[in-house]
Amino acid sequence: MKKYYLILLCILMIPNQIWAQANTWLQLNDFPASARTGASVFQTGNDVYVVGGYDGSAFKKTMYRYNENNDTWQAMPSLPSMPRNLAVAFSIGANGYYGTGQGAAAYSNDFWEFNTNTQTWSQKANFGGLERSGAIGASINNKGYIGLGQGYQGLYRDIWEYDPTANTWSIKDSFPSTGRRMCVSMEHEGKLFVSLGSDGRYRRESYYYDPINNNWYQLADFGGSARHSAVIYKIDNTLYVGTGYDSTLRFKKDIWRYNSTNNNWQQVTDFGGTAREGAIAFSINNTAFLGLGYDTICKPDVWRYSPYATLLTNQEKETEVTISPNPIFNEIHIRSRLEISDVSIWNLNGQLVREIKNVSTVNNVLNAEELPKAYYIVKTKLSNGNTNITTISKQ
């Protein structure tokens, strides 16, 4: 009897859970401003800032901060400079950095710091190279790195290091292949990872830059088709690369994971939204977020992904499944915004009481007249693979 009441107490403390299936994408709230492509992202801790972009008619300089806890966006101070897209952004400590890019009539090499504590912008020393857009950038060991891209003199392969303490730039070993634009780049294991892009042809090569030894070495080619304007993010210190526009002149939605130990690529679950280029991506607590971009029109949608089963937020739960009444009497009403695939009812001894397969409706009514008065667990599997777990009682 003590075991029964302990189980009952634990279940009543968590009356309604919905778990997102592992390796699936879940759509979140849309980006709050105009849909756009070519925006840039910097991140300090769990605070993510999205700056700039192009919405199909105008270049942007607005900035928004994303709150993962309640899936909301907050407008922040706009960049006090030229609206633009295809700029570089990264963070060092509590400060974000943003620079280069392309506006309505010009490439740029200006460089800005955003203090997340005071929420103010200040201009820093201009980027050490020529004006450009579609460059790479990342921070490693409290230094910033920018290079490659396209400008007035064509495609570039130079790499520059920024020292925020001295506010100075110094040139480093050039990229070991052709100049190119719209690659992906990210810090990984203390190095700068660079892949994909275009030099007039679509590219698949991947490289590490080692800032300690100031040299480059080549890695395994990207596992998918050659492309540019893809995204990159990290989960559990593992790199994921995908989406973009490829050599077959198609938008892409495939995602590939890079194994740095074995130096190889493995394809994982495709992105949940439409195939696109020019999207943004970031990760918080080993959950990836991907959105915006262009697929013949600019996109406002944002999605999240985890390789693990994750508990949905209260806001996400409210849109998934409703079971009523509770307590139940003669009927159980199950409603969902998505198609219900399976429903099962379990008693507190872990025994299956009733199961209905292939429901294929968004509303379902179960006869509960024959159920004895007791507490039950109702598991509702949805068409997107998510499972709702709700505790009910029969009176």
Q: Which residues contact 10 (CB under 8 A, 6 or more apart)?
A: none
pLDDT tens for each residue of 340-387 = 888 999 888 888 988 888 887 777 888 888 899 888 888 888 877 777
Q: Taking the model in full, what pTM does it have? A: 0.77
- The pLDDT assigned to 109 comes to 97
Query: In 10 A of CB 118, how many CB atoms?
Result: 10
* CATH for the stretch 24-308: 2.120.10.80
Given 3-state DSSP classes, what are the helix, strand and coil percentages for the chain, each rounded to the nearest 5? 5, 55, 40
Specify the domain boundaries for CATH 2.120.10.80 within the chain: 24-308
Domain 2-20+313-393 architecture: Sandwich (2.60)
- The pLDDT assigned to 386 comes to 73
Query: What is each CA distance from 385 to 23, 180, 288, 388, in whole angstroms?
Result: 10, 40, 18, 10
The percent of residues in the chain predicted with pLDDT above 70, rounded, is 91
pLDDT tens for each residue of 205-235 = 999 999 999 999 999 999 999 999 999 999 9
Specify the domain boundaries for CATH 2.60.40.3080 within the chain: 2-20+313-393
